[in-house]
């Protein structure tokens, strides 16, 4: 994410937009490629873009969307929303992680993973996304920020293949 995008996310955080309005705007921009193309198209007049924004978006986020269009940055809206999500978590001293698994872990295992992440990253809580991936064969893959902990059978097999090929 660029510094410019992070700055937009900070502004969005300062605007204190309701979660409902934010999710509605995010859904509109993510689910309608035509809308995103029209809003980012420089040949579409500013007044036409503003009319569409006024009709589709909640009042509390309209001006933010208009500024993104005016500054030709609307195509980066999803990255801005992701940076916003990260800022919200940071403000609560939390972190986001994804756990990919073959067999869903027990609640005790999930709590243990959360405790490990909290300790390692010095956070009070973890927003843990669970994702089933049968192609891992067994084990799990934990993704926290830019770090991936691969404890899957698939990962071990690939490591073994690399080792054997390297010899």
CATH number at residue 17: 1.10.520
Backbone angles phi, psi at 51, to 5 degrees: -65, -40
Residue 157: HSE in the Cβ half-sphere, 13 Å Cα cutoff? 8
Domain boundary among 88, 111, 130: 88
Q: Are 72 and 7 contained in the same domain?
A: yes
Rg (CA), the chain: 21
CA dihedral sign of residues 44, 50, 53, 55: negative
End-to-end CA distance of the chain: 39
Give the chain's domain count. 2
61 & 115 share domain: no
Q: Which of 88, 105, 120 is the last residue of a domain?
A: 88
Non-local (6+) Cβ contacts of 18 within 8 A are 58, 60
* Residue at which a domain ends, from 41, 60, 88: 88
- Note down pLDDT in tens along the chain; length 167 residues: 789 999 999 999 999 999 999 999 999 999 989 999 999 999 999 999 999 999 999 999 999 999 999 999 999 999 999 999 999 999 999 999 999 999 999 999 999 999 999 999 999 999 999 999 999 999 999 999 999 999 999 999 999 999 988 87
Range of the domain at 30: 3-88
**CATH value at residue 148:** 3.40.30
71 and 117 inside one domain = no
Residue 69 CA: distances (Å) to CA of 54, 73, 86, 89, 165:
13, 6, 23, 27, 51
């Amino acid at each position: 994410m660029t510094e410019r995008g992070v700055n937009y996310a900070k502004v969005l955080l300062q605007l204190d937009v309701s979660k409902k309005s934010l999710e509605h705007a995010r859904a509109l921009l993510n689910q309608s490629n035509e809308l995103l193309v029209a809003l980012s198209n420089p040949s579409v007049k500013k007044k036409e873009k503003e009319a569409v924004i006024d009709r589709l978006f909640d009042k509390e986020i309209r001006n933010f969307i208009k500024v993104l269009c005016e500054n030709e940055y609307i195509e980066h809206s999803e990255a801005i929303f992701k940076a916003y999500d990260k800022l919200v978590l940071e403000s609560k001293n939390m972190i986001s992680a994804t756990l990919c698994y073959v067999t869903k872990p027990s609640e005790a295992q999930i709590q243990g993973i959360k405790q490990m992440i909290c300790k390692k990253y010095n956070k009070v809580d973890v927003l843990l996304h669970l994702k089933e991936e049968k192609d891992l064969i067994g084990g799990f893959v934990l993704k926290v920020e830019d770090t991936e902990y691969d404890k899957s059978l698939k990962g071990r097999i690939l490591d073994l293949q690399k080792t054997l090929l390297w010899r």
